[in-house]
Amino acid sequence: MMKKTNLLSEKNNQNPLNSALRYLAHQPRSIRQMNDYLVKKGFDEDMINKTIEKLLEQKYLDDEIFTRTFVENRINHKPKSKFALAYELNKKGIKSDVIEDALKTYDDQDLALQAIESKIKLWLRLDFEKFKKKALNFLQYRGFTYEIAISILNKLNPLEEHLGLKDKNEN
- Give the structural domain span for 95: 63-103
Q: What is the pLDDT of residue 158?
A: 56
Check whether 11 has a pLDDT greater than 50. Answer: no
On whether both 68 and 42 belong to a single domain, the answer is no
pTM value is 0.78
On whether both 87 and 132 belong to a single domain, the answer is no
On whether both 128 and 151 belong to a single domain, the answer is yes
Q: What is the pLDDT of residue 171?
A: 43
Residue type at position 150: I
On whether both 80 and 115 belong to a single domain, the answer is no
Count Cβ atoms below 10 Å from residue 142 Cβ, excluding itself. Answer: 19
Q: What is the pLDDT of residue 122?
A: 86
Check whether 162 has a pLDDT greater than 80. Answer: no
For 62, how many CA atoms within 13 A lie in the half-sphere containing its CB?
8
